[in-house]
């Protein structure tokens, strides 16, 4: 069972990817984690990726796919995996598709966690983080006992730059320009499944389990 997770930033796809991995006993494969692991272990692929990252450049799609394929070729991925954070663009999806085809393989499901932009903006701009211990809250869903103060350590809670409305809108614009076309790509492959991401995460997961069987 090879799964790609799709969805806008803040849609909750990372949470669902972890739940799928746990439920079905397959690895949750995050490209960020793979890069860090390869660089830390000083692998040839890691050294190659680091030359781009040190210059502040994006790692080329072809190298990213090579690093990804190296990861999914490992023993723990023999029954499948959940890809989180890749592919992000059509060229990445095409390279991944071509390389999997060479291996006689293919993505089984592309799960799109669908949440309207206004919900994501509300969801993310309501987040608050503790400046001291890093605990996170939400002014509507998980409010602190005392406004602006961390329950755990009593330090100040802040709205992180990443969660500010303007930043969230910019990230959503990039998502719609680059990643949204993947929905058409995987629809044409006949593997796209969409779930309503506006409901509680347990309900989202229940819908995903119906799809995966």
Give the residue numbers marked as catalytic: 13, 88, 127, 160, 171
Nearest to 1 by CA among 75, 77, 76: 77
Tokens 């272990």 found at? 41
Sort 15 into a burial class: Cβ within 10 Å, 0-12 / 13-18 / 19+: middle
Q: How far apart are CA 60 and CA 39, in angstroms?
A: 16
Q: Identify whether the C-beta of residue 7 lies closer than 8 Å to the C-beta of residue 114.
A: yes
Residue 130 DSSP SS3: strand
* Size of the chain, expressed as the number of residues it contains: 213
Distance of alpha carbon 91 from the chain centroid: 18
117's CB contacts (< 8 A; 6+ apart) are 8, 169, 172
Q: How far apart are CA 163 and CA 123, in angstroms?
A: 9
Q: Identify whether the C-beta of residue 16 lies closer than 8 Å to the C-beta of residue 205.
A: yes
């Amino acid at each position: 069972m090879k799964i790609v997770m799709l969805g806008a930033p803040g849609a909750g796809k990372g949470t669902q990817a972890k739940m799928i991995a746990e439920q079905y006993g397959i690895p949750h494969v995050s490209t960020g984690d793979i890069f860090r692991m390869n660089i830390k272990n000083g692998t040839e692929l890691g050294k190659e990726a680091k030359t781009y990252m040190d210059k502040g450049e994006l790692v080329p799609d072809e190298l990213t796919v090579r690093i990804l394929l190296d990861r999914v070729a490992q023993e723990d991925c023999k029954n499948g995996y959940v890809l989180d954070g890749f592919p992000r663009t059509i060229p990445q999806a095409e390279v991944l598709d071509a390389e999997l085809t060479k291996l006689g393989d293919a993505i089984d499901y592309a799960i799109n966690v669908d949440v309207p932009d206004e919900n994501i903006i509300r969801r993310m701009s309501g987040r608050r983080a503790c400046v001291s211990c890093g605990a996170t809250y939400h002014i509507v869903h998980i409010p602190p006992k005392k406004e602006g103060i961390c329950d755990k350590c009593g330090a100040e809670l802040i709205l992180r730059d990443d969660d500010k409305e303007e930043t969230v809108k910019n990230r959503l614009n990039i998502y719609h320009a680059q990643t949204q076309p993947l929905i058409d790509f995987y629809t044409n492959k006949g593997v796209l499944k969409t779930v309503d991401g506006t409901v509680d995460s347990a309900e989202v997961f229940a819908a995903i389990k119906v799809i995966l069987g």
